[in-house]
Amino acid sequence: MADEPLSALQARCSALEQRLDAGLSEGERPAVKLEIAQLFRQVEQELAERTLLKSDIRRLVEKWKAQQVAATTSHAPRFSVAQPVTQADHLGASTFAEKGWSQLSLGDFEAAEASLLRALELAPDDPTSESLLGWAQMLQEKFEPALAHFERVLTREPENALARVNVGYICLKRRAFAEAMEHLSTVIRLDSDKKASLYAHFYIGLVYLECAQFAEAETFFLRSLLLGPNLIEAYYQLGWAYWLNAQREQATEAWSRGFTTNKFNPWGTRCAELLQVVADGGEPVRA
């Protein structure tokens, strides 16, 4: 479908609103629902395309800046001998960074934060440690310090996928869905970090779930499980996407797979709890 001018999209929205305000007959409701859904999807698609274009333009800006710096004579002092190097214990830092990632994977976010703070003490400018530290803080809902870490990393490395995917998650938690989609779509398009790409797919699924676009949410949760079959939370959320879309059998199957994949994982436990509610004839309640 060709892009429509903004004024035309606004006119369609206004016309639909007027029809709703005037009251719909029972026979009109399905058609109007379809028109609203089509309008929403068209705007969503155009927004995603413009978001990717915005990222491409940002890359042009960065290239221009790089050429500008290269063309400018540096006034930095020159060393007649080997330039001094700041000492950093990178070996020790990598040990603490790996420990922090392991603790993140196990859901021990406070311990991960402590390990990654130590990693940054040993290697202050390491972008991986700083991104992981921001992640650990983000998962404790310490959004402000987490965002500060991610922004520092992105200032130095604008295409750092791990930092950008988590900025997208913070935008999601703040319900800034368009901004979240911008960051997450960029990570998927760049495809420079498998871990970041996995979570970008998963977080986009969460965006669609929050926007009640259940079919789209299902698609992205399934993609995230193809990239990371052990991401148990994706089974949990996929089950909710199915359940809320009145696909009850698929929902219980997703939760069952989440539980059997790792019954000791906290998300596996949540899957089991929902399965028990359904087995008892109850209605699951989404927290």
Residues 6+ apart with CB under 8 A from 138: 146, 166, 169, 170
What percent of the chain clears pLDDT 90, i.e. is strictly above it? 51
Domains of the chain: 40-53+88-224 (1.25.40.10), 229-287 (no CATH)
How sure is the predictor about 236, in pLDDT bands with cuts at 50, 70 and 90?
very high
How sure is the predictor about 146, in pLDDT bands with cuts at 50, 70 and 90?
very high
By the 8 A CB rule, do 229 and 206 touch?
A: no
Angle, CA of 171, 177 and 179, to the nearest 5°: 65
Q: 69 pLDDT exceeds 50?
A: no
Which pLDDT score, from 0 to 100, does residue 22 have? 87
By the 8 A CB rule, do 1 and 39 touch?
A: no
Residue (of 108, 155, 149, 107) closest to 132 by Cα position: 149
Assign 213 to helix, strand or coil: coil
Q: What is the mean pLDDT of residues 118-133?
A: 88
Q: 115 pLDDT exceeds 90?
A: yes
Query: What CA–CA distance (Å, rounded) separates 186 from 188?
Result: 5
How sure is the predictor about 30, in pLDDT bands with cuts at 50, 70 and 90?
confident
Q: For residue 266, count other CB atoms closer than 10 A to its CB.
A: 13
Which pLDDT score, from 0 to 100, does residue 213 have? 95
Q: 170 pLDDT exceeds 60?
A: yes
Q: What is the mean pLDDT of residues 58-76?
A: 50
The structure's pTM equals 0.64
DSSP 285: -
Which pLDDT score, from 0 to 100, does residue 201 have? 96
